[in-house]
Structure 1
Amino acid sequence: MADGGASFGYLGVSRSLSGRLWRERPADAELVRRHQLSHGLSEPLARALAARGVGAEQAETYLNPTLKALFPDPSTFTDMDRAAAILVDALERKRPLVVFADYDVDGASSAAQLVRWFRALGHDLPIYVPDRILEGYGPSPAAFRRLKAEGADLVITVDCGAAAHDALACAAEIGLEVVVIDHHLMRGEEIPHVAALVNPNRPDCVSGQGHLAAAGVTFVLLAALNREARKRGLFGERAEPDLRQWLDLAAMGAICDVTELRGFNRALAAQGLKVMSGWRNPGLKALMDVAKGQGPASVFHVGFILGPRINAGGRIGRADLGARLLSTDDPQEAAALALELDGLNASRKEVEREVTEAAIAHIETESNAPDAPMLLVAQDDWHPGVIGIVAGRLREKYRKPVVVVGVDRAANVGKGSGRSQPGVNLGRAVQAAFDEGLLLAGGGHAMAAGLSVRPETIPELRAFLCERLAAETEIAAAEDALEIDALVATRGADRALWQDFQRMAPFGPGNVEPSFALADVRVERPMALRGGHVRCTLTDSSGGKLKAVSWRVEGSEAGRRLMTEGGAVHVAGRLKPDDWQGRCGVEFEIEDVADPRRA
C-alpha cells in the first residue's frame, strides 16, 4: 500500500503543509495474513489491527469486546474489597454518607453511578462538588470540615482525593472517615492514611488497570458492592441491581477523560455506547434532545455533544450540575438542567473564542517567539475554566507544548493550564519549576499540567520551561509524523469502507481512528465556513467525487491551499458518516495537506 521509501515519507511526503512527515503505520506482514485468514478481514483492515498491536490471540476480543471476557476481578484492586465492605456496612447501619466528586464528566459519571446504586438499595446519597474557581480541584480541609459540620460521617471521593494529603490529614483529625476512588497518578510511595484508597495507579496495586478513568474504577466498585451485599443476604427482599444499565455512565467517563480504549476499558466504552443508545438515562436523553443530536450513541456524541455540555457546569457555571443531571430520574428536572448546561456551553464557547484569539495575538506579536521550544502566554482575567481548552487548541496550531495563564491581579496569582506534544513531558518540567521555587503549586503528567504562579515570576518561568524542554521539543518536532493506515481513491472512499473499519470502533487513545490518504486529488468548489473551517469536494482520476471538510484551518498554509482550485494535492484524514437527511454517505475529514511539488 505504501508509495515511496520511509526516508522520503509516505507518498513522498517528508514535509506537509503543516510541516509533518507522512509515514505508513508499520505492521507485521505475517500477522496481517493471520488476521485475514482467521477472521475474514480485508487486507487494509487486518493491517490496521496488526499496526495497533493486536496479536493473533487478541483479535477476537478486540473485534468483539465483551465484559464477560474482559472484566477484571475486583479483588485485584488494592483496597477494593475493603472499600466495598465499609460502604455496605455503612448502608446497613444507615450512616450519613456523601459522595465528593470532581467537577468534570468523569467525576460526574462516577458520582452518578454510586448515587444510582445506593438509590437501588433504598439509600439517598448526597453529592458535593467543589467550585472550580472558589475551591479549586479536589478535597480541601475547609470542604471536609464543612461536610463534617453538616452531619457527614463518611465521605466517598471519586475522581479525586488520592493526592489530597492535607485534606485527608484534616479528615483524620476531625473524625471524618474517607474512602477514596481515584485513578490519577500518585507521587512517591506514600499512601495517605484513609479507610480505603482504591486507585489502579497506586504503587502497590496489581490490577493492571491503570488506564481506566475513575468511572471505570467506580463500575468495578459496583461489582464489588453487589458481591459484598449478596454475601450479606441483602438481596433477599429486593432485586440485585443490574449493573449493565449504568454502563452508559462508565463509557462517558472513559471517553471524555480521553483514556486508553484497550482491554476492559474498550469493552466498557463499546458496551456502554450500546446501552446509551437506548437513551434510558433521563439526563443524557434530555441533553441529547436540547443539543438536537440524533441516532445511536457514538464517541462523537459523547466527546463533542454531551461531554462539553456536562463540563460547562464545572467550567463556568455551577459545579454540581453535571452530576445532578446524570443521577436524576425526574424527566422534568433533567430537561431544566440540560437547558441550563446547553446555555452555559454556548457561553463557554464564546469565552473560549475570545481567549484563543487574544492568546494567538500575544504569541505572534508580544510575549513569545513562535519558534520557541514551548509557548507560555498570560493575560489578566482569562477565565480559569477555559484555559485548558485554549492550551489544547494552541498546541494543535503550533504543534509544541503550550501553557496558558489567567492572572487574577486582586489575588496576585496566575492560574495556568498546559497541554503538550507527544514526546515532551510537560508535567515533569512543571514539577521541576515547582522544585526550583518558581511556582506556588504545580503538577500533572506528560501531556497535561496545571500550575499557580506569581505574575511577576511569569517571564522567569517561561525562560525556565523553554530551556528545560528545548531538547525534548526538538526531538519531538523531528518525529512529528502523521501515520497512514491505507491509500484510497475517491471512488473507493465510500460507506462500505467506513462500515468495514467500524469493526475497530470505538476509537480513542490506545486505539486511534484509521487515517487514510488520497493522492493527486483536485479541490473543487472550496467554501470558507464560519469558525475558520473549509468545505470542498475532492476528485481524482478514478472519477469519484468525495465531500470533504477541514476544521479550524483559517490562516494556515493548508487552509489557503484548499481555498485555491487547480493543481493536485495529497490529503490525509478520516472518513466520517454523512447521514444528513437520510443520505447514508461519507465525508472526508481532512487532517493534513501536502503539495506534491514541495513535499
Structure 2
Amino acid sequence: MIGMAPIARARGSLSSARHRVVPQRWRMAPDLSNDAVRTLQRELSLTRPFARLLVRRGLGQAADASAFLDLRLDSLHDPLTLPDMPLAVERTLKAVRRKEKVVLFGDYDVDGIGATALMTRYFRMLGLPVEPMVPERERGGYGLSAEALSRIRAAKPDLLIALDNGISAHEPLAALAADGVDCIVIDHHHVGAGGLPKALAVIDPKRPDSAYPFGELCGAGLAFKFAWALSVGFSNNRKVSPEFRAFLLDALALAALGTVADVVPLVGENRILAAHGLKALARTTCAGLAALQEVAGIEGLPSAADVGFRLGPRINAAGRCSEACEALDLLLTDDAVRAKALAQRLDGLNRERQNIEQRILAQARQEALALMGRSDAPPVLVLSGPDWPVGVIGIVASRLVEEFYRPTVLVAATGGGMGRGSGRSIPGFHLAEALEETQAHLTSFGGHAAAAGFELPLASLPGFRAAFEETARRRLDSKDLVPSLDLEETVALQDVDSSFCRELARLEPCGAGNPAPLLAVLGVQVAGDVRLTRDEKHVQMFVRQEGAVRRAVGFGMGGQFNALCDLARTGVMDLAFRPQLGSFRGETEVELHLKAFRSGGPAQAGTVSAAGA
C-alpha cells in the first residue's frame, strides 16, 4: 500500500493545486427491465449488479452475453470475405513463388509499425526478402508522401503493400501503377470523396461496398487477417498447417498492440484479438516485445492499460522524438542483446518525450490560463509556440482538454513560414467539421470528430484563430462546456464484493467502446479519518453504508483533500468509482478507486432512476 499519513484537517498548501474542471453533472443511467435482469442472472448464474451491467450494454440475451464473455478465436470472421482479399492473396502468393521484390510501407504510429512488423516477420518466415519502410514524422509526414514515393521507387519493387495507410493516396499509387508496380492497400480509414485509389487490391472494411460483418479492425488487425488468408492459400486448406498456426498465434501479440494503442472499439473481433493477443504478449517469441515489456516493468499477463500506457508510448516515442524505424527494428530483431539495447533506447526516448511534453504543457497552460481569465474567454483554445516539437503537440492538446474542458488546438512552427496543428475535442464539437468551415486559412487538414490535424501558413494563424473561435461560438453553448460524469450503474456498497469484482474482470480488455464500468454508490459515510499520502498526491478513506465497509482510494485527488475532509465532517456523500481487487496488509480486499464525489443524501438518491431495480 502507498504510504498514507492521517490528516483530519485541511491544509492550506493544497490550495495551489492546478486548475481543473471538476465534473458538475452526474448523469445516471435510465431504468432497466427487472424481468430481463432476473432472467439473465438466472440463466448465467451472475450477481445481480453484473447482470444489470450486461443488460445495460445490450447483452440481455444469454447467447449474446456468453459470446461477449467467452472470447473464442473460432468466432473470428473468415478473412477471405474482406473486400479484395482473394485478389491480394493471389498476387502475393505469386510474388512469394517468384521471389519478387516486395516493399511494405507502414505508418509511424504503434498500429502502423505493428502491422509492418507482423507482415515483415511473416514474409521472412517464408524466405522472401521484403523491404519494410515507415515514414518519418518530421520529414515526409504521414502516408505516401513525395518523400516516401521517392524511397519506394529507389527500392524498385515489383509489389507494394501499404499497411495502415494508402486509402487516400490517389496520386502516389497512380504514379507507382504507371511505373509498373502492383499495389495492395490494407487500410482501415474511411474512403474519401475521391473514391478508392488506383490499386490492384484495396482491403478496407470501411469500403462502401464491403460486406464484411465487422468494420472496426485496425491496421495491425487487418495485417493479421492478411497473414491468415495467405496461410490458408499456402496450406491449400481452410485449416492452416502447424507452422502457420504457430506464427498466427504468436502474431496475435502484434495485432493486440495495434488494436489497443490505436483506440479502436474493443468490441466484436477487436475484443477477441486484444484478449488473445495480450496472452500472446505474455508468452511472445519476439525478442523485442519481451525486452520492451521488461523495461516497462510488466510482469505476468499484460493488461490493455499496460499496452496503452506503457508499451504504446515507448513505441510511439521513436516517431515523436527520433525515427520510427528504431521501433520497427525492435519488433523485427531476434537478437536478445540487441532487443534489450533497442528497448532501453525507446525507454530513454519516452522519458525525453515526457520531459518535452511537460515543458510544452507548462508553456501552453500559461497561455490557456490567460485566455480563460478573460471576461470573454473563448469556447476553444488555439495556442502556439515557436519551438514546440510537432511530435508532442497532440498529447499536450489532450492534457489541456482534460484540464479546461475546451476543444484545444496547438500549432507548431515547421519551417519556411509554415505551421502544423493538432487538435483534440470534447463531445458535441466535431473537430474535422469545424476545420472544414475554416479551411480558407489552411493548406490541408484531416481527422475526425475527436482529433484532427492541419497545416497552415503561420501568417494565417490570427485569421484562423478568429474564424475557429467564431465557429465554436456557433456550435457550442455554455452547457456543452460543463463536463458530465456518466454513471453506468448505481449499486449498494454491500454488493461491491470480491465476486462482483471477479465478474467485472470478465469485461476485460476494456477501452474504447467497452469502458470499465463507472459506478455510483449513494449516501455513504466516512469511517475514521481521510488520509493523504506524504507527497500530497493521493487520498484514502474507509466508507460505510448499512454495515458494509470498503476502502476508497483517490489516485491523483490530493488537490481535493480539503473539500473531501469538509464533506466527510458534515454528513453523507455520493461516490463515483471503479471497483478493483487489491491487497491491504497482506489480505485481498475490494477497493473503490474514486473518480469523483459530491454531497449526498436522500434527496440525491431519490433522483436516481436506476436504483431499486
TM-score, normalized by length of structure 1? 0.89
Task: Give me the whole-angstrom Cα distance separating, in 1, the residues matched to 2:558 and 2:390.
Answer: 26
Alignment of 1:80 with 2:97, yes or no, is no
Alignment of 1:569 with 2:534, yes or no, is no
Q: Could you say if the C-alpha distance between residues 222 and 365 of structure 1 is closer, same or farther in structure 2, counting changes exceeding 3 Å?
A: same
CA displacement 1:196-220 (0-9 Å, x = unmatched): 1111112222213221111111111
Work out which of the residue numbers 405, 408, 417 in structure 1 matches 2:411.
Answer: 405
Which residue type is aligned with residue 502 of structure 1?
A
Task: Give me the whole-angstrom Cα distance separating, in 1, the residues matched to 2:338 and 2:540.
Answer: 42
Higher deviation after alignment, 441-450 or 475-484: 475-484
Unpaired segments ≥5 residues, structure 1: 1-15
Work out which of the residue numbers 574, 583, 596 in structure 2 matches 1:592.
Answer: 596
Work out which of the residue numbers 465, 468, 473 in structure 2 matches 1:465.
Answer: 468
* Residue 224 of structure 2: aligned partner: 219
Work out which of the residue numbers 236, 251, 265 in structure 2 matches 1:246.
Answer: 251
* Residue 11 of structure 1: aligned partner: none
SS in 2 for 1:193: coil
* Residue 445 of structure 2: aligned partner: 442
Alignment of 1:474 with 2:477, yes or no, is yes
Task: Give me the whole-angstrom Cα distance separating, in 2, the residues matched to 1:102 and 1:60.
Answer: 36
SS in 2 for 1:544: strand
* Residue 8 of structure 1: aligned partner: none
* Residue 183 of structure 1: aligned partner: 188
Q: Could you say if the C-alpha distance between residues 383 and 593 of structure 1 is closer, same or farther in structure 2, counting changes exceeding 3 Å?
A: farther
* Residue 61 of structure 1: aligned partner: 67
* Residue 7 of structure 2: aligned partner: none
Task: Give me the whole-angstrom Cα distance separating, in 2, the residues matched to 1:494 and 1:316.
Answer: 45
Higher deviation after alignment, 565-574 or 111-120: 565-574
Distance apart, 1:362 and its partner CA: 0.6
2:379/2:481 contact within 8 Å kept: no
Distance apart, 1:234 and its partner CA: 14
Work out which of the residue numbers 495, 498, 507 in structure 1 matches 2:510.
Answer: 507
* Residue 384 of structure 2: aligned partner: 378
CA displacement 1:533-558 (0-9 Å, x = unmatched): 4232242344624141333x576xx4
Alignment of 1:322 with 2:327, yes or no, is yes
Q: Could you say if the C-alpha distance between residues 472 and 575 of structure 1 is closer, same or farther in structure 2, counting changes exceeding 3 Å?
A: farther
SS in 2 for 1:446: coil
1:422/1:476 contact within 8 Å kept: no
Distance apart, 1:473 and its partner CA: 3.2
Distance apart, 1:323 and its partner CA: 2.1
SS in 2 for 1:115: helix
Identity %: 33
SS in 2 for 1:453: strand
Which residue type is aligned with residue 599 of structure 2?
D
* Residue 163 of structure 2: aligned partner: 158
1:77/1:198 contact within 8 Å kept: yes
1:189/1:203 contact within 8 Å kept: no
* Residue 367 of structure 2: aligned partner: 362
Alignment of 1:451 with 2:454, yes or no, is yes
Distance apart, 1:525 and its partner CA: 0.9
Q: Could you say if the C-alpha distance between residues 587 and 327 of structure 1 is closer, same or farther in structure 2, counting changes exceeding 3 Å?
A: farther
Distance apart, 1:46 and its partner CA: 0.9
* Residue 535 of structure 1: aligned partner: 539
Higher deviation after alignment, 162-171 or 411-420: 162-171
Task: Give me the whole-angstrom Cα distance separating, in 1, the residues matched to 2:181 and 2:506.
Answer: 48
Task: Give me the whole-angstrom Cα distance separating, in 2, the residues matched to 1:365 and 1:479.
Answer: 19
Q: Could you say if the C-alpha distance between residues 259 and 428 of structure 1 is closer, same or farther in structure 2, counting changes exceeding 3 Å?
A: same
2:23/2:484 contact within 8 Å kept: no
Alignment of 1:123 with 2:125, yes or no, is no
SS in 1 for 2:91: helix
Task: Give me the whole-angstrom Cα distance separating, in 1, the residues matched to 2:60 and 2:498.
Answer: 27
Q: Could you say if the C-alpha distance between residues 293 and 348 of structure 1 is closer, same or farther in structure 2, counting changes exceeding 3 Å?
A: same
Higher deviation after alignment, 210-219 or 235-244: 235-244
Distance apart, 1:358 and its partner CA: 1.3
Which residue type is aligned with residue 173 of structure 2?
L
* Residue 6 of structure 1: aligned partner: none
Distance apart, 1:584 and its partner CA: 4.1
Distance apart, 1:98 and its partner CA: 1.7
Which residue type is aligned with residue 399 of structure 1?
Y
Task: Give me the whole-angstrom Cα distance separating, in 2, the residues matched to 1:356 and 1:538.
Answer: 35
Distance apart, 1:318 and its partner CA: 1.6
Which residue type is aligned with residue 65 of structure 1?
L
1:118/1:125 contact within 8 Å kept: yes
Distance apart, 1:526 and its partner CA: 2.1
SS in 2 for 1:386: helix
Unpaired segments ≥5 residues, structure 2: 1-20, 605-613
Task: Give me the whole-angstrom Cα distance separating, in 2, the residues matched to 1:232 and 1:194.
Answer: 27
Which residue type is aligned with residue 382 of structure 2?
L
Within 5 Å, which residues of 2 pair with 1:234-383? Answer: 242-366=247-371, 371-383=377-389
Task: Give me the whole-angstrom Cα distance separating, in 2, the residues matched to 1:235 and 1:35.
Answer: 37
Task: Give me the whole-angstrom Cα distance separating, in 2, the residues matched to 1:379 and 1:478.
Answer: 25
Q: Could you say if the C-alpha distance between residues 471 and 310 of structure 1 is closer, same or farther in structure 2, counting changes exceeding 3 Å?
A: same
Distance apart, 1:516 and its partner CA: 1.9
Higher deviation after alignment, 483-492 or 264-273: 483-492
* Residue 10 of structure 1: aligned partner: none
SS in 2 for 1:244: helix
Q: Could you say if the C-alpha distance between residues 163 and 582 of structure 1 is closer, same or farther in structure 2, counting changes exceeding 3 Å?
A: farther
Task: Give me the whole-angstrom Cα distance separating, in 2, the residues matched to 1:181 and 1:476.
Answer: 41
Distance apart, 1:33 and its partner CA: 2.4
Task: Give me the whole-angstrom Cα distance separating, in 2, the residues matched to 1:484 and 1:22.
Answer: 6
Alignment of 1:193 with 2:195, yes or no, is no
1:517/1:572 contact within 8 Å kept: yes
2:183/2:199 contact within 8 Å kept: yes
Work out which of the residue numbers 134, 138, 141 in structure 1 matches 2:143.
Answer: 138
Matched positions, count: 575
SS in 2 for 1:449: strand
Which residue type is aligned with residue 157 of structure 1?
A
CA displacement 1:206-251 (0-9 Å, x = unmatched): 2132211111111111121112222399999976654122111111
Task: Give me the whole-angstrom Cα distance separating, in 1, the residues matched to 2:244 and 2:452.
Answer: 44
Distance apart, 1:492 and its partner CA: 5.4
CA displacement 1:162-214 (0-9 Å, x = unmatched): 11223223323333332111111221251110121111112222213221111
Work out which of the residue numbers 549, 553, 560 in structure 1 matches 2:554.
Answer: 549
Alignment of 1:90 with 2:95, yes or no, is yes
1:156/1:179 contact within 8 Å kept: yes
Which residue type is aligned with residue 295 of structure 1?
G
Distance apart, 1:24 and its partner CA: 2.6
Task: Give me the whole-angstrom Cα distance separating, in 1, the residues matched to 2:472 and 2:139.
Answer: 32
Q: Could you say if the C-alpha distance between residues 549 and 61 of structure 1 is closer, same or farther in structure 2, counting changes exceeding 3 Å?
A: same
Could you say what the CA RMSD is over the residues aligned between the two structures, in angstroms? Answer: 2.9
2:164/2:186 contact within 8 Å kept: yes
Distance apart, 1:307 and its partner CA: 1.0
SS in 2 for 1:400: coil
Which residue type is aligned with residue 593 of structure 2?
E
1:355/1:390 contact within 8 Å kept: yes
SS in 1 for 2:388: coil
1:517/1:571 contact within 8 Å kept: yes
Which residue type is aligned with residue 394 of structure 1?
L
TM-score, normalized by length of structure 2? 0.87
Work out which of the residue numbers 518, 521, 539 in structure 2 matches 1:518.
Answer: 521
SS in 1 for 2:255: helix
Task: Give me the whole-angstrom Cα distance separating, in 1, the residues matched to 2:206 and 2:320.
Answer: 26
